[in-house]
Amino acid sequence: MARSILPFKISSTEPQTPLSVAPYNSRTVLHSFDPNSFEENYKYVAFRPGYAVQAAELNEVQEYFYKENTLMATMINYWGYYVGTPYAGSGDEGTSLRYGGPGWDGATPLAPYGAGNQPGFDVIPPASQPASSEIPNLVSVIDNGTSITIQLNQGYYLTEVRTGTDVDNGFKYFVYLNYEGALGESLYTTTISKATSGISYVGLFLTQTYVLPEGGGDGATDRTLQDNSAGFYNINGLGAARVSFNFSGIGVAGVNGSTGFDTISPVLYIDHSTGKVRYMSNLIITTV
């Protein structure tokens, strides 16, 4: 099944970006914008001593910048209406609670509410955002009575690197959550028993990987990183590696959880005493 590449709108008949066409040969479309393959989540072009620099690699660096810039601007637009005083209809009106913005120390979905969950036009003017069908729905919550099921859906999340290891540095990246392999969405679905009090935190596990051109060393490799200037992948043209960040599953910390808080990038929390499910910014998702 094809995945959503929102907020990007790449033609399906002749997919291209400004620098993906010959002779510039950026591989950004191939690595990020093909809905029928996984998002590679390459964030760095890691130039290596002793290997020639490819024009395509320099062009990809430029497109990486505009990709991240587009995602950041889109996130600010999607989240900006909710920052501050709770909006009418949120259920938090009249309280002293304040809603924070996106970009907390964890993983923030590109948009807080997907199609069908948008507040009314008295909160968001209809001309300020795309049609609701073009806004990705990244968080699903189901009340099972005695338990709560949380599913994190495919799409972009702004995440801090939080692995509980030495690679943690506070840098943030937009990482696409891919449903990979036979387990697919089950890797990103969890069911949490309800409690009378306490907090459960739900977040994502993250990995960092160096990916080399195929034939360029041991470990993770990618044939498409070979030199493509002649119109094919040249095994004799081994250039830069890439640094890839990917989610590897969902985790729960706190009440009825089984992992440490510092090893996940938290997306949301459940306040069992009130039955409220909220993003880490306090913005309400739903009541269970």
Q: Is residue 20 part of a domain?
A: no
The predicted structure's pLDDT at residue 33? 96
C-alpha torsion sign, points 272, 159, 175, 5 = positive
pTM of the model: 0.94
What residues pair up with 175 in beta bridges, in sequence order?
A: 157
The predicted structure's pLDDT at residue 122? 65
| Residue-level pLDDT, tens digit, the chain, 288 residues | 789 999 999 988 889 999 999 999 999 999 999 999 999 999 999 999 999 999 999 999 999 999 999 999 999 999 998 999 998 888 899 899 999 999 999 999 999 998 777 776 667 766 667 777 788 899 999 999 999 999 999 999 999 988 888 889 999 999 999 998 767 899 999 999 999 999 999 999 999 999 999 987 788 999 999 999 999 999 999 999 999 999 999 999 999 999 999 999 999 999 999 999 999 999 999 999
> What's the domain range around 165?
28-118+136-287
Tell me the C-alpha distance between 169 and 288, whole Å: 35
Query: Which residues make Cβ contacts (< 8 Å) with residue 276, sequence separation at least 6?
Result: 270, 284, 287
The predicted structure's pLDDT at residue 127? 62
- End-to-end, the C-alpha distance of the chain in Å comes to 31
Q: Is residue 127 part of a domain?
A: no
The predicted structure's pLDDT at residue 215? 86
Please count the structural domains in the chain: 1
For residue 223, which phi and psi values (nearest 5 degrees)?
-60, -30
The predicted structure's pLDDT at residue 167? 86
Query: Which residues make Cβ contacts (< 8 Å) with residue 190, sequence separation at least 6?
Result: 149, 150, 202, 250, 251, 252
DSSP conformation letters of 244-288: EEEEEEEEEEETT--S-GGGSEEEEEEETTTTEEEETT--EEEE-
Q: Is residue 86 part of a domain?
A: yes
Q: Is residue 187 part of a domain?
A: yes
The predicted structure's pLDDT at residue 95? 92
Q: Is residue 231 part of a domain?
A: yes
Q: Is residue 168 part of a domain?
A: yes
Give the DSSP H or E segment for 107. strand 107-109
Tokens at residue 109, please?
A: 């979905």
The predicted structure's pLDDT at residue 29? 96
Q: Is residue 21 part of a domain?
A: no
Q: Is residue 125 part of a domain?
A: no
Reference 25, options 55, 70, 48; nearest CA is 55
